[in-house]
Amino acid sequence: MSDKDYVIGFDLGGTKLMATALDRSFKPLASNRKKTRAVDGGEAVYQRIKTCISDLVDQSELKGRSLKGIGMGGPGILDSETGVIVYTPNLHWENFPLGPRLQDDFDVKVCLDNDVNMGLYGEFHFGAGRGFKHVIGLFPGTGIGGGLVLNGEIYRGTGNAGELGHMTLEVGGPFGAEKMRGTLEALASRLAIAKEAAVLAAQGEAPWLLKNAGTDIGNIRSGVIAQSIENGDKPIERVVRRAARYLGVAMGSLVNIFSPEAIILGGGLIEKLEDLYMEETVKAMKKNSFTFMSKNVKVLPAALGDDAAVMGAAKLISEQLERE
Amino acid sequence: MSDKDYVIGFDLGGTKLMATALDRSFKPLASNRKKTRAVDGGEAVYQRIKTCISDLVDQSELKGRSLKGIGMGGPGILDSETGVIVYTPNLHWENFPLGPRLQDDFDVKVCLDNDVNMGLYGEFHFGAGRGFKHVIGLFPGTGIGGGLVLNGEIYRGTGNAGELGHMTLEVGGPFGAEKMRGTLEALASRLAIAKEAAVLAAQGEAPWLLKNAGTDIGNIRSGVIAQSIENGDKPIERVVRRAARYLGVAMGSLVNIFSPEAIILGGGLIEKLEDLYMEETVKAMKKNSFTFMSKNVKVLPAALGDDAAVMGAAKLISEQLERE
């Protein structure tokens, strides 16, 4: 890439689209955001993605510069080899050739990987994971996303490795994705916390929460959970601490499995309740792993926030362009 | 390596030493076995290892051939970069420079890795794992060993990755290594089966076992467990099926984590009770992983038996010699 070239990193989320143009030293040149509006259907979402990129290309900061590639982080099950989104229920896409279509429409190289991998790769190169070789990412949110950077590269296995939210921690435990039970996600995601919190609110054990958010688990989001604790709903704090301990147990298993240098924790819950999460997870991780392995593992909060996936996607497409 | 060169693959176990000389196409030229006799102490064990190799070098089949390297699979915590065995309680070694000493004594290149990694690497190149890129190994025995071949190479993380027996499957479950609880090993190893079997025998629920092996868990080994089932001790079969299901649950988590092509199962329990293990593990694996990931995973019994580690060690040292 020359001084005048740039790439676009794109984060395709269920609720918002984010695109950033970056020069060859990954300095952001311009950004664009739009709502995803998944309800409009798959083709409409694609057109919004296209407009989001076109708008960026048209912006004055980019005049005289040449777009070389697009790196895209997307949700759901996808095929990073072919650029096809295999299945994303919330975007109404099935076998949607996102990569090939963008490649045709913008006449540049496109790479596609899942948003969690892209986010972790961003953290690995530009954020909390800088300087390491083996880094694991865990992102508790509505579900729990996971990603693996092994030997400095995103590890994909035969395609969609890194589903760390679906490790079993309690055989026969609460219901999880598909027919799984007792998975990390079923025990420690925002929804897992919200369901316990809703019951406590309904039982009159969490008065602030009941008054301010009610008992609809859809309304009991990370910010509300943090506020409920701040405002004295003690039982909610116990629920979150238990969820954090489950996360730490999974981290212990991951230490024994991968012997990583660092584990990066990100997402809404960690952002709102960092101290609580750091305390509980590290303690549980150490209790559930070999001391000679865990003693050197750094547990770090994600550093790039919303920009992580965009940065990781930009880095990945740049590397692919360089290899050519 | 020329036609006249050979390497030695060595499997250093707690009870026996096995060494095989192999030519450059991995055809075995000669083998040697000795008891480890760990009770004699660390230096005595080293001298037996040395003799085991010297005897092999002296054998007539190897006359006129030239030893180029030694690949060694060892137990415990070790540093494959430096060749130092950091800690193996049952061999009385602490920070023992096994690799460097062999290198001095035989004046050839030596590589050291843990015996489970070497065994899996043997299966990967010459046995059940041939033709795959991402292979996971699980070896339930007295404990449960694990190994990872990712992108065609042994994955070590910062050193001792692949401790798959120490994944947590039941928070607060039975006691495991160090301060861990509810690990795969604590739930599904030969000792985990033996402790339940011993209680059943003591309670009169497993008459054949009680009569033929008693209630000492040290005597309730894989062969005895299999015979007890064959001879009608139904409750013992239930215990083993439960252990196999735990193994399958762990395999499900590993599918979600790694998206591998194959999982290889080996060790005494699998050898003696292959049908039972294949049936229960595959079922539990499928229930505890995403269908789109598990449907393509091959679950295979190990094919090389006792020779796996020796073959893997020979392959690994050969590759290191080639790279030079």
Q: Alpha-carbon distance B233 to B244, whole Å?
A: 17
Closest CA–CA distance from residue A323 to any residue of chain B (Å): 19
Per residue in B66-125, pLDDT (tens digit) is 999 999 999 889 999 999 999 887 788 899 999 999 999 999 999 999 999 999 999 999
Contacts 24+ apart (CB under 8 A), A318-322: A318/A1, A318/A7, A318/A24, A318/A26, A318/A69, A318/A71, A320/A69, A320/A109, A320/A111, A321/A1, A321/A7, A321/A68, A321/A69, A321/A109, A322/A1
What pLDDT shows up at residue B318? 98
Note whether A157 contacts B252, CB cutoff 8 Å: no
**B131 CB within 8 Å of a chain A CB:** no
Q: Alpha-carbon distance B200 to B64, whole Å?
A: 59
Q: Report the sign of the C-alpha dihedral through residues A54, A59, A64, A67, in that order.
A: negative
Note whether B157 contacts A164, CB cutoff 8 Å: no
**A5 CB within 8 Å of a chain B CB:** no
Residue A241 makes CB contacts below 8 A (sequence gap 6+) with A276, A280
User: pLDDT digit of tens for each residue in chain A (324 aa)?
Assistant: 888 999 999 999 988 999 999 999 999 999 999 999 988 888 999 999 999 999 999 987 788 899 999 999 998 899 999 999 998 877 888 999 999 999 999 999 999 999 999 999 999 999 999 999 999 999 999 999 999 999 999 999 999 999 999 999 999 999 999 999 999 999 999 999 999 999 999 999 999 999 999 999 999 999 999 999 999 999 999 999 999 999 999 999 999 999 999 999 999 999 999 999 999 999 999 999 999 999 999 999 999 999 999 999 999 999 999 998
Coil, strand or helix: which one is B127? coil
Which residue in chain B has the smallest CA separation from A254? Answer: B167
Closest CA–CA distance from residue B158 to any residue of chain A (Å): 6
ipTM (interface predicted TM):
0.96
Q: Alpha-carbon distance A229 to A219, whole Å?
A: 15
Which residue in chain B has the smallest CA separation from A151? Answer: B157
Which residue in chain B has the smallest CA separation from A169? Answer: B169
The one-letter code for the residue type at A318 is: S
Burial of B291 from C-beta contacts in 10 A (0-12 / 13-18 / 19+): exposed
**A94 CB within 8 Å of a chain B CB:** no
What pLDDT shows up at residue B41? 86
What pLDDT shows up at residue B324? 85
Q: Are B242 and B207 in contact (CB under 8 A)?
A: no
Q: Within 10 Å of residue B301's Cβ, how many Cβ atoms? A: 17
Note whether B253 contacts A166, CB cutoff 8 Å: yes
* Angle in degrees, 0-180, between the axes of helices A190-202 and A222-230, rounded to the nearest 10: 50
**A76 CB within 8 Å of a chain B CB:** no
Option in B162, B252, B260 nearest A168 (CB)? B252
**pTM of the full structure:** 0.96
What pLDDT shows up at residue B214? 97
What pLDDT shows up at residue B159? 94
Option in A256, A287, A292 nearest B77 (CB)? A292
Provide the β-strand partners of residue B66: B5
Instruction: Point out the residues of chain B with pLDDT beneath 50.
Output: none
Q: Alpha-carbon distance B15 to A91, whole Å?
A: 58
